[in-house]
């Protein structure tokens, strides 16, 4: 598996960057995980919109889905220009029926419901879900392919269930919206020490901090998480590629 960070800011994108969006590739299959504000523009540095094979969504907050509408238009327009592509499946939960309905657009995209209680197969990937602690229904994902695994926490405050869910994973892509001296529970987010604890107790191979705050010195997040977790800790950044 190859993971490419396309967007990584929490809430909204910084200038010339993007909020949440991750490109995961294996055996030529291109899967996007979430598709927030600014992602479409930044994605074109790596692949073209018509080259995507599927999307999977954790939840329906704008910083995770804002660019789906323009993605639909991009694929529509590229079709008019002769770059025909298959209808794009977008996998999401149905606990927000209004937002789920928007995933289907003409013959361009098709919303497909996933059952969080069951494993989901998308191309070469097998995805398991875990309910997150967030103000809206939101699901973390454990994605496996080729004998490797990645856990994406989505947006959540810390919960003990994450430890067995992420146990031994090759990569923990974990939201870190707060610094160590802050309590993010009320907002449904983790701080740097939460991340270190999760990575250490789940015995993960490496930790990448994402969904980053817009203030402070973000390198401090790494140093704080590293006081608890002894393995590699990296800040998400656009274009960061990780091969598993």
All structural domains of the chain, each given as residue ranges with its CATH number in brackets, are 2-243 (3.60.15.10)
In this prediction, residue 83 carries a pLDDT of 86
In which residue ranges of the chain is pLDDT below 70?
none
Question: Can you give the pLDDT at residue 42?
Answer: 98
CA distances from 226 to 11, 25, 215 (A): 25, 28, 20
In the sheet that 207-210 helps form, which strands lie side by side, from edge to edge?
120-122, 125-131, 139-145, 148-152, 171-175, 207-210, 233-235
pTM for the whole structure: 0.97
Identify the pLDDT of residue 46: 98
pLDDT confidence of residue 85: 86
Torsion of CA 184, 127, 33, 147, to 10 degrees: 110
């Amino acid at each position: 598996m190859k993971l490419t960070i396309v967007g990584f800011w929490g809430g909204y994108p910084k200038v010339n960057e993007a909020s949440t969006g991750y490109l995961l590739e294996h055996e030529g299959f291109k899967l996007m995980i979430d598709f927030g504000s600014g992602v479409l523009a930044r994605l074109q540095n790596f692949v073209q919109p018509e080259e995507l094979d599927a999307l999977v969504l954790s939840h329906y907050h704008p910083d995770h889905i804002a660019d789906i509408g323009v993605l639909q238009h991009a694929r529509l327009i590229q079709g008019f220009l002769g770059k025909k592509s298959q209808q794009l499946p977008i996998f999401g939960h149905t606990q927000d029926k209004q937002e789920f309905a928007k995933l289907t657009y003409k013959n361009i995209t098709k919303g497909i419901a996933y059952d969080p209680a069951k494993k989901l197969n998308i191309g070469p990937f097998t995805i398991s879900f875990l309910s997150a602690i967030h103000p809206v229904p939101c699901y973390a994902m454990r994605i496996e392919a080729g004998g490797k695994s990645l856990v994406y926490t989505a947006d959540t405050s810390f919960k003990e269930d994450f430890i067995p869910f992420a146990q031994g994973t090759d990569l923990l892509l974990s939201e870190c919206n707060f610094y160590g001296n802050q309590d993010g529970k009320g907002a449904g987010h983790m701080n740097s020490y939460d991340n270190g604890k999760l990575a250490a107790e789940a015995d993960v191979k490496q930790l990448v901090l994402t969904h980053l705050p817009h203030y402070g010195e973000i390198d401090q997040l790494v140093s704080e998480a590293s006081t608890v977790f002894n393995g590699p800790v990296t800040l998400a950044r656009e274009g960061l590629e990780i091969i598993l």
